[in-house]
C-alpha cells in the first residue's frame, strides 16, 4: 500500500474520501465541510437515522455530488471516547469497506479523530499498522491463493502539520514490515522452517543493508565453545542447531556498546522425552516466535537506519524425542560452568537461552533483552494480551514498559527475587531446570538470571502473545512493535 500525506480542503477534492461522524449527530470538521458541499445531504442522512455514528459503522455513499465518487462515513461513537484498540478496529472496518469497492485511492480524514491521550503521530502510525495488519495473509502453502485482490493502491492522510505524519507513515511502515516478516517465518511450518531455515533468513538480511554483518554458528562451533545445554536440547533432532548472529552497526561512535536482542528459536518443541500431549502440539511451531520477532526488529532497524549498534541473536534449535535425545536426570555443564540437572526435557528454552546468554557476553553489551515463548505459566498468569516482563533493573524495565504502552504492544512486569531461586535447587547439580508448580514464569526468569549477572538484562516471556489460537490462528509478530519502539526511543 502506498501512503501519502497531504493538506487539502475537502471542498477541493475529487474522488474518494473517508470522514468521521459521532453519535448524537455530531460531525467532524470534514463531515461538516462535506455537509456544506452537498447541500446538507449528510445532515439529512443523520436526521433520518440512516447514519447513526455508532462505533464500527461504515456507510458508503456514492455520487453524493459531481466531485466525490464515494464517501465512506465512519461512525466513531461518542466524541472523544475512542481507545487505541477501538480506533484500530475502526480503521480495519473502514479499509474493508473501501476494499469492497473499485476505489484505487482514498483521502482519509480520520486524522481528525481524537484517540484517548494520543496525538496526530499515533493516529497516523496506528492507522498504517492496522491497515498493514488487515492486509496480511499467509497463503504460501495454499494451492489456491485467497482472492483478496482489491483495487486500492493509495491512502492519503489529510493533515495540516505534515512533518509528524510523514514520520508516522515511515515508522509505521517499518514496524509493519518487521511484523509481517516475523509473522511469515513464524507461520511457516516446522518441516520447512527448521534451524537452518532461520539461519538462511538471517543471512539474507545482510543483503539488505551495509550495516549488517551476519554469522552463523553450527553444532561444531557450539561444541568448541562448551554450549552443552543448548546442544543437549538439539541432540534428539536430525536438524542441526544454528545460532545466528546479526550485527547491525550504525552508531556514530563505532565503539558504542551494543544492545543485544536474543530470541528463542525452537522451530519445533515436542517436549522431548517429557513429551507434550498431542492436543495443539502443532502450535509448538511457534516456539521460535522470539527469534522471529528479533529478526523482524532487525529488519525494521535497517529500514529506519537507526543510528545504533544492535546485535540480534536467533537461537535456532529443535526439541524432539529420539533414541539420542537428552533425558530427565541428565546433568549438563553449561557454557558458564554452572551445572544443570534436567528434570523435564520440555523446559528446553531456558537451556538453549542460558548458553546463548553466556555467549553474548563477548559483545560487552550495554544491555541484553531476551524474547522467548518460555512458559505456559506466563499465559496462565497474564493471559494472551500482555507479554511478561522480568528484569532486575528497574530503569530498563520502566523503559520497556513505556515502549509497550506507547506502541500498544502490551507488557506487564512480573517480579524477580532470590526467594524463587530456592525452587531451582538440585541435590546433584548447581541448578535444576524446573522450579515446581508455583510461579513458573518467574522461576524460568530466575533460572536465566543466573547467566546474566555480567550485564544489564531483561526477559520478555511471549508465550501468550506470539500467536493467536482459534479462528484467527496465526502469528502476531509481537513484540516487534514494542522492541522497535524501545530502540526508536533510545535514539531520542
Ligand atoms: N515452549 C514451551 C512454553 C509454552 C507452552 C509456550 C505453551 C506457549 C504455550 C516451553 O518450552 C515449555 O514447554 N515450558 C514448560 C515448562 C515446564 C516443563 C516447567 C511449560 O510451560 O509447560
Ligand atoms: Mn518445551
Ligand atoms: Zn519451548
Please report the pLDDT score of residue 270 as a whole number.
Answer: 98
Is the minimum distance from the CB of 190 to ligand 1 under 6 angstroms? no
> 538453549: which residue's cell?
352
First to last CA, the chain: 28
Asked if 490 is an active-site residue, the reply is no
Within 10 angstroms of residue 373's Cβ, the number of other Cβ atoms is 31
Q: Identify the segments of the chain with pLDDT beneath 50.
A: none
Name residue 3's beta-bridge partners.
155
Q: What is the pLDDT of residues 13-55, one digit of tens each?
A: 999 999 999 999 999 999 999 999 999 999 999 999 999 999 9
5 phi, psi to nearest 5 deg: -125, 130
Name residue 360's beta-bridge partners.
none
pTM given for the model:
0.98
Which residue's C-alpha comes closest to atom 17 of ligand 1? 347
DSSP secondary structure letters along 312-326:
EEEEEEEE---TT--
Is the minimum distance from the CB of 272 to ligand 1 under 6 angstroms? no
Measuring CA to CA, which residue among 245, 246, 290, 282 is closest to residue 266?
290
Is residue 107 within 8 Å of residue 156, measured between CB atoms? yes
Q: CA 382 to CA 230: how far, in whole Å?
A: 28
Please report the pLDDT score of residue 40 as a whole number.
Answer: 94
For ligand 3, a single-atom ion, which residues have Cβ within 5 Å? 266, 269, 287, 349
Proximal ligand: closest to the CA of 374: 1
Which residues 6+ apart lie within 8 Å of 366 measured at CB? 256, 257, 258, 259, 455, 456
The torsion of the CA quartet 252, 254, 258, 262, rounded to 10 degrees, works out to: 100
- The three cell numbers of residue 320 are 524432539
Proximal ligand: closest to the CA of 434: 1
Please report the pLDDT score of residue 408 as a whole number.
Answer: 98
Amino acid at each position: 500500500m502506498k501512503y501519502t500525506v497531504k493538506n487539502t480542503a475537502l471542498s477541493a477534492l475529487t474522488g474518494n474520501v473517508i470522514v468521521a461522524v459521532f453519535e448524537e449527530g455530531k460531525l467532524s470538521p470534514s463531515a461538516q465541510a462535506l455537509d456544506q458541499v452537498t447541500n446538507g445531504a449528510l445532515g439529512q442522512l443523520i436526521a433520518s437515522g440512516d447514519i447513526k455514528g455508532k462505533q464500527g459503522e461504515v456507510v458508503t455513499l456514492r455520487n453524493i455530488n459531481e466531485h466525490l465518487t464515494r464517501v465512506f462515513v465512519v461512525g466513531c461513537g461518542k466524541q472523544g471516547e475512542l481507545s487505541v484498540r477501538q480506533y484500530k478496529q475502526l480503521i480495519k472496518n473502514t479499509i474493508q469497506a473501501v476494499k469492497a469497492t473499485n476505489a484505487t485511492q482514498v483521502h482519509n480524514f480520520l486524522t481528525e479523530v481524537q484517540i484517548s491521550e494520543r496525538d496526530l503521530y499515533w493516529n497516523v502510525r496506528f492507522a498504517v499498522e492496522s491497515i498493514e495488519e488487515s492486509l496480511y495473509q499467509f497463503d504460501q502453502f495454499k494451492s489456491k491463493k485467497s482472492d483478496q485482490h482489491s483495487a486500492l493502491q493509495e491512502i492519503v492522510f489529510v493533515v495540516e502539520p505534515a512533518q509528524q505524519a510523514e514520520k508516522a507513515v515511515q515508522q509505521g511502515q517499518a514496524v509493519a514490515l518487521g511484523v509481517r516478516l516475523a509473522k511469515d517465518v513464524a507461520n511457516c511450518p516446522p518441516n520447512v522452517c527448521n534451524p537452518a531455515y532461520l539461519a538462511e533468513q538471517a543471512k539474507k538480511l545482510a543483503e539488505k543493508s551495509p550495516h549488517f554483518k551476519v554469522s552463523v554458528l553450527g553444532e561444531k562451533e557450539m561444541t568448541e565453545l562448551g554450549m552443552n545445554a543448548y546442544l543437549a536440547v538439539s541432540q534428539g533432532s536430525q536438524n542441526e542447531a544454528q545460532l545466528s548472529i546479526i550485527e547491525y552497526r550504525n552508531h556514530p561512535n563505532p565503539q558504542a556498546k551494543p544492545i543485544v536482542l536474543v530470541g528463542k528459536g525452537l522451530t519445533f518443541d515436542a517436549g522431548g522425552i517429557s513429551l507434550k500431549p498431542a492436543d495443539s502440539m502443532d502450535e509448538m511451531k511457534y516456539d521460535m516466535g522470539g527469534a522471529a520477532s528479533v529478526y523482524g526488529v532487525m529488519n525494521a532497524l535497517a529500514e529506519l537506519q537507526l543510528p545504533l549498534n544492535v546485535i540480534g541473536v536467533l537461537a535456532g534449535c529443535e526439541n524432539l524425542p529420539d533414541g539420542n535425545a537428552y533425558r530427565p536426570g541428565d546433568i549438563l555443564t553449561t557454557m558458564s560452568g554452572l551445572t544443570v540437572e534436567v528434570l523435564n526435557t520440555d523446559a528446553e528454552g531456558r537451556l538453549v537461552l542460558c548458553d546463548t546468554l553466556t555467549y553474548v557476553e563477548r559483545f560487552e553489551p550495554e544491555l541484553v533483552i531476551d524474547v522467548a515463548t518460555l512458559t505456559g505459566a506466563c499465559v496462565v498468569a497474564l493471559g494472551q494480551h500482555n507479554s511478561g516482563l522480568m528484569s532486575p533493573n528497574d530503569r530498563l524495565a520502566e523503559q520497556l514498559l513505556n515502549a509497550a504502552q506507547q506502541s500498544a504492544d502490551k507488557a506487564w512486569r512480573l517480579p524477580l527475587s532470590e526467594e524463587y531461586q530456592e525452587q531451582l535447587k538440585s541435590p546433584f547439580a548447581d541448578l535444576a531446570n524446573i522450579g515446581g508448580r508455583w510461579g513458573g514464569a518467574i522461576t524460568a526468569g530466575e533460572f536465566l538470571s543466573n547467566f546474566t549477572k555480567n550485564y544489564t538484562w531483561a526477559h520478555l516471556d511471549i508465550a501468550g502473545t506470539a500467536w493467536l489460537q482459534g479462528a484467527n490462528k496465526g502469528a502476531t509478530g509481537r513484540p516487534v512493535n514494542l522492541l522497535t519502539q524501545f530502540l526508536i526511543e533510545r535514539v531520542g
